[in-house]
Every structure is written in structure tokens, then in C-alpha cells.
Amino acid sequence: MCQRRIAFAGDVIFRQCTPMGWNGSYEKWLKTLDLIIWLDPEVIVLGHGPVCWIKGAIEMNAYLEYVREESRRWFDQGLTSLNASKRIDLGLYGEYRGPARC
């Protein structure tokens, strides 16, 4: 019997495109990513994008942390969500498909 460590991540991980996070919270999303990383699967099957490995979960975690910190920085200056989203420099993530969903 062949046993493989496969995680079916659904919409928890998006590869090289801006994720849609309209429901839930960043905290729960990040905790779920931490769990996937801790499980150390051989393969991760996504809801959107190609099959990936643990690197995909690590990259998604880094992206969410980056956007959360950038958002916090602008919110602390009193900007609305819309105005903050217009000012966030996506840096390394600027090449992701669907940046308007940020």
C-alpha cells in the first residue's frame, strides 16, 4: 500500500494570484496555514492554481502577513479600507494575478 501525505487546501492557498478573503478572518486563515505547514504534506491540492508543495503554504502565509501589516500601517494613519488598499505597495506580490482583490 502506498501512503502519501496529501493536503486538500481548497481556497486556503492561492498560487501567484491575489486571494479572495471576504469571509472569515486573517487570524483563522494564518492558523490554518500554520497547521498545513506543520503537517508538512508532500503535495498540496489547491482550489485555484496548480498543485504545489509546502513552499506554496509558506508563500501564502508571507503574503497574508505582508498585506495585514501594510493595512495596519495605513489604518493607523486613519485611512479607510479603500484608501489604504490604493496605497499598499504589493512589492514582491505585485506580479500576482487579480491585484484588485487585495
Q: What is the pLDDT of residues 31-53, one digit of tens each?
A: 999 999 999 999 999 887 788 99
pLDDT of residue 86: 85
Q: What is the pLDDT of residues 3-33, one digit of tens each?
A: 788 999 988 898 877 787 767 788 899 999 9
Mean pLDDT within 55-60: 92
CA 35-37-38 angle, 5° bins: 60
C-alpha of 58 from chain center: 9
How does the average pLDDT of the chain come out, rounded? 86
Q: Is the per-residue pLDDT at 97 higher than 90? A: no
Beta bridge partners of 58: none
Does residue 89 sit in helix, strand or coil?
A: coil
Residue 92, amino acid: L
Residue 18 DSSP code: P
What domains are there in the chain, each with its CATH number? 6-96 (3.60.15.10)
Q: Assess whether pLDDT exceeds 60 at residue 102.
A: no
Q: How far is CA 20 from CA 29, 39, 81, in A?
A: 11, 24, 15
Give the residue from 27, 51, 89, 3 showing the smallest Cα distance to 99: 89
